[in-house]
Amino acid sequence: MRLDKFLGITGCCTRSEAKKRVRGGSVTVNGVCASSSDAQIDPERDEIAYCGKPVIYRKYTYIMMNKPEGVVSATEDGRDRTVLDLLPDGVRKAGLFPCGRLDKNTLGLILLTDNGALGHRLLAPKSHVEKRYYFRSKFPITEAEAARFASGLVLEDGYETKPAKIDLEGEGDCGVITLVEGKYHQIKRMLEALQNKIVYLERISFGPLTLDPTLARGEWRYLTEDEIHALENH
């Protein structure tokens, strides 16, 4: 693999910055100052350091994105922009996919990875991965309705939802809903079952991951080592 590609995918710097960084002496390969950003390295064997710190090579890519409105959670779409379209060239790569779906008008945390086995496990219904959403509804939700979330709501197609949690805030027309499943339009349909309507929906956590408040809408970052560890051991 080329050194500039390695520096890009490990999040040290962008591929285009790599040349300058290598020239500036910030990169060593097996303890020796790298001479050229297009040098070939073996990511499994060579020890690369950036600004004096060893760079951990991961076979898989893990990205947290703050999904904006109007973007679809898909790898490609004939009509709309996808979450992958928000990644720059060099980061977007074959095999990367959104782990789970958010509706086009839902905002917030979405995980992108090319680790198919992990994605599959996290999305499997039996994994019961917790997802938390901040919501606002058209009408206030009563305590009695909130209790129906805990016992399972019957949706318009007869499906009975798994016990969910709702923590009401303010006047009862906003708060946090916690789900352990992810049926199509689930929260919107749960509110419809109460003759109510979602007017704002934002995912604030997914399993052990919490939406990074420093990420503006449409921004993304690589997961930290701790986050990857937490995800892999979830």
By C-beta, is 2 or 81 nearer to ligand URA?
A: 81
**Minimum distance of ligand URA from residue 121's CB (angstroms):** 20
**Minimum distance of ligand URA from residue 190's CB (angstroms):** 8
Please indicate whether residue 103 is annotated as part of the active site: yes
Quote the CA–CA distance of 11 and 210 in Å, as a whole number.
20
Quote the CA–CA distance of 53 and 62 in Å, as a whole number.
20
By C-beta, is 41 or 110 nearer to ligand URA?
A: 110
Nearest residue to 39 (alpha-carbon basis) of 57, 60, 21: 21
Task: Enter the tokens of residue 90.
Answer: 């060099």
Q: Which of 77, 85, 103, 114 is catalytic?
A: 103
**Minimum distance of ligand URA from residue 127's CB (angstroms):** 16
By C-beta, is 34 or 187 nearer to ligand URA?
A: 187
- Which whole-number Å values give the CA distances from 232 to 125, 126, 143, in the listed order? 17, 16, 37
SS (H, E, C) 35-87: CCCCCECCCCCCCEEECCEECCCCCCCEEEEEECCCCECCCCCCCCCEHHHHC
Contact positions toward ligand URA, by CB under 6 A?
A: 102-103, 106, 185-188, 201
By C-beta, is 106 or 137 nearer to ligand URA?
A: 106
Q: Fill in the amino acid letter for 85.
A: D
**Minimum distance of ligand URA from residue 144's CB (angstroms):** 22
Residue 92, strand partner residues: 89
- Residues recognised as catalytic: 103
